Structure 1
Amino acid sequence: MDSDNHLNARRPEVIIEANIPFIRGILEPVADVSYLEPERFTPETVATADAIVTRTRVKCCEDLLGESRVSFIASATIGLDHVDLPWCRSHGITVVNAPGCNAPAVAQYVFASLLSLPDFGPLDGKTLGVVGVGNVGRIVADWGERLGMRVMRCDPPRALAEGATGFSSIEEIAADADAITFHTPLTRSGDCPTYH
């Protein structure tokens, strides 16, 4: 009997954003998978999907998902600004993301960008302001110090939780840093909103 149910079980339908690297072939053994460009995610194309795997260009909200059977969203991103979390929760849609997944790559980009500035000069002896000292900011700050930079850290939520020692204000960083890099989530409420 169990083998009959197994044979009649429907394979889940998964739609994956086509530009996500290294994912092709991973889910095919267990699901029917389609790859779409971000602009092709429409209410019609996701209507029969059980799950979607996306990045920030696909806005996961009622307009897209309201008539679908999507019950799972995986975002290959750190942030979830593109997902209407309250709506998804209220409709039983599980949402997961990948915090920290690209932290070293972002740090590499920061230092490559600084080194490419024609008038910036060598990093050794420069002052780097790091605003947001979480997954990415910690790596940037650590690498900056290893490269001989003076690093100023600004992270108001951490300063509130851990004490102000070791943290600078945004005003201090703006006055003293040769370069400032931001690694904060977009928040509009709470004690330390980052919006604007």
Structure 2
Amino acid sequence: MKLLVDAQVPGAEACFGPLGQLVRMPGRAIDAEALRDIDGLVIRSITRLDAATIDTAKAQGSPLRFVGTCTIGTDHVDQLALARHGIAFASAPGCNAEAVTDYVLGSLLCLAERQRLAPG
């Protein structure tokens, strides 16, 4: 199996390397031509995977059968076009929950500290 993974996805070699041949490239450079001989694709929100790209890749004989995004949002992927071609799709809901919690707690601590230091 040949997997194309966005170059900015951390830990891709450890996570996906055992599954087959791993190819890395910048997310903005991923297009129909890049998908020509790719079985699986792992992207971030920077990569726009629209119907034209998917349709062109499949028309050129791409064996693409899985697309995964390392993000919560899915608006950068045309899921209907994937479904038309029988391509499985997965996103990562909840993947930033810990970071959001850290940010909120840090903000609350900062606010509490500022209120203690403010006169009055």
TM-score category, normalised to shorter length: 0.7 to 0.9
| Structure 1 residue identity aligned to 2:112 | P
| Structure 2 residue identity aligned to 1:22 | G
Q: Pick one of 56, 74, 79 that aligns with 2:73.
A: 79
Partner of 1:19: 8
CA displacement, residues 148-190 of structure 1 (integer Å, 9 cap, x when unaligned)? xxxxxxxxxxxxxxxxxxxxxxxxxxxxxxxxxxxxxxxxxxx
Question: Once superposed, which parts of structure 1, at least 4 consecutive aligned residues long, lie more than 6 Å away?
Answer: none
Taking structure 1 as the reference length, what is the TM-score of the superposition?
0.50
CA displacement, residues 25-69 of structure 1 (integer Å, 9 cap, x when unaligned)? 332233111011112212111111111011111112223222233
Partner of 1:47: 36
Q: 1:47 to 1:113 in 2, by over 3 A?
A: farther
Tell me, in whole angstroms, the C-alpha distance in 2 between the residues paired with 1:115 and 1:39.
38
Are 1:102 and 2:96 an aligned pair? yes
| Structure 1 residue identity aligned to 2:79 | L
Q: 1:19 to 1:89 in 2, by over 3 A?
A: same
Which structure is richer in relative contact order (CA contacts within 8 A, separation 6 or more)? 2
Hey, which of these two has a bigger chunk of helix by percent? Answer: 2
Q: 1:115 to 1:101 in 2, by over 3 A?
A: same
Partner SS, residue 69 of structure 1:
coil
Larger CA Rg, structure 1 vs 2: 1
Name the count of aligned residue pairs: 110
Identity of aligned residues (%): 29
Q: How does 1:134-149 map to 2 (within 5 A)?
A: none
Taking structure 2 as the reference length, what is the TM-score of the superposition?
0.78
Q: 1:47 to 1:115 in 2, by over 3 A?
A: farther
Partner of 1:92: 86
Q: Is residue 54–residue 81 contact of structure 2 (8 Å, CA) maintained in 1?
A: no
Q: Is residue 13–residue 22 contact of structure 2 (8 Å, CA) maintained in 1?
A: no
Q: How does 1:19-38 map to 2 (within 5 A)?
A: 19-38=8-27
Tell me, in whole angstroms, the C-alpha distance in 1 between the residues paired with 2:109 and 2:35.
43
Q: Which runs of 5+ in 2 are unaligned?
A: 116-120
Task: Tell me the C-alpha RMSD between the 2 structures.
Answer: 2.3
Q: Which runs of 5+ in 1 are unaligned?
A: 1-11, 126-196
Partner SS, residue 95 of structure 1:
strand
Partner of 2:118: none
Partner of 1:192: none
Tell me, in whole angstroms, the C-alpha distance in 2 between the residues paired with 1:59 and 1:113.
33
